[in-house]
Chains A and B, each alone.
Chain A
Amino acid sequence: MSADVSDLSLVRRVQRGDKGAFDALVLKYQHKLVKLVMRYVRNPAEAEDIAQEAFIKAYRALPQFRGDSAFYTWLYRIAINTAKNAVVSRDRSPIEYDLDRNNTDESYDMQGRMKDPDTPEGLVLTDEIRTTVNSAIEALPEDLRTAIVLRELEGLSYEEIAATMDCPVGTVRSRIFRAREAIDRRLREVFEGGLGRVEELG
């Protein structure tokens, strides 16, 4: 299987004017991109802002993407450059201290809380998602758990997993799909019904 074929099919759709295909690319790579940017900035909210900027830059630059490299490699380069520029411009900017801010500007505080991932609500939700996924993985039959972990944690291809687990590639594909379905059933409850606060995944 040629690598990056699914990304490329989405990229081609975006290049032909299909914005919905870009949503799929953002959904797929948002977490990886934020994690990458967090090597340059410690603040998760700032990392998300930079990742958002990187995605928008990537969208605008997509007409120039010819597929010479993998899409995610190209996207990561944009994110790294954006993060470096953000760090440089932040270091040049003077730090503003507003001693009266807490007393006079409540809207600033609200905005800050909305962007801050460490608000109690954000922490609870993220923790609940993690707990749900982890417990679902624990409940999986061993062959399904091994297949999904080898895929997601080790990044092995289906062929490599098949060699590791000594089974056909088709079986690997089926095991990974069934593992995802089992986890997704539990996860959907959290997103749709559980806390009632997650109207979107992104």
Chain B
Amino acid sequence: MNNSTASRWTALLVPTLAVVLGLLIGAVIMALMGYDPLVGYTAVLDGVIGNSYFFGETLRAVTPLIFSGLAVAFAFRTGLFNIGVEGQYIVGQLAAAYVGVSFDLPPVLHAAMAVLAAMIAAGLYAGIAGWLKARLGVHEVITTIMLNYIALASANYLIRNFLKGPGERTEDILPTASLASTWLSDMFEGARVNWGLLIALGFSLLIYWLLWKTTTGYELRAVGLNPHASEYAGMSVPRNIVLAMVISGALAGAGGAADTLGVYGYMNISAGFSGIGFDGIAVALIGSNNPFGVILGAILFGGLSFGADNMQRVEGIPTESIKIVISIVIYFVAASAIVHWLLGKFRRRQEVQSS
């Protein structure tokens, strides 16, 4: 086995072993608390593949996580930590709802414009953090956290004063802007899985292509890996930082648009965050910051979280136990040294045996 395939296998093995360890330790904690982990995990699995409606709803839950995971992973690849996906998702929701409610356009075009508006708005919003980092050296972790709260408060204000529909939410978007899909929904007994899923998969491909097959992507990654060397090589570090944040934010915004246009059809005034942006951090990490890894990470994360509801409903085991499992998975992804160490031991033993 040559070196690059070996490292590719390790890249897959680390998250896989992390998942196994997470499930095992989670089971121990559940057992210590007096719950039967086997019963719990079975109920989780049942909540995902028990019937085709559950499976469709799982895919619905996975969709925004692909977007938010991609947004975080893209930023990580360019050397930035975007904790602001949560806020950018809100900005995307708002822009999509605005275009969906306020404009009269033919079908498909209307939906496309709404998604585009969401991506531009959220991209620019994230660009603020990029600009502040590039020009003034303000750490993006702090600014994106602050921008989350500002997005939440401003969106609530704008909905209440300019887009108010019945109840604590906007008007319904026009049917022409909807991303709901009858054939997808029918396939899964009325689950709210929608075109957003296919858009998410498309974006995963696009981001892979952008990062690894274009000059722009090469520059973005180079600046992330070593800003000084990149500058010496003639790349503009500030420009690439801002661009990276804008693209990351646009992905988050597309996720917001997919949920507003595909699942709910309106946007709520909300007291707190949906958590989709923060979960995106976990998804990106489980997926090794690789666009295809993100899809797998989102399926795992979305599946476990959605199935956990069924576990609490049927078996009375708190959904939080799944959150614990996920946190342990992230921990072992971070502490991949353990996994490498285990692998090293394993390999050494093989070598001893074969010689």
Do A and B make up one complex? no
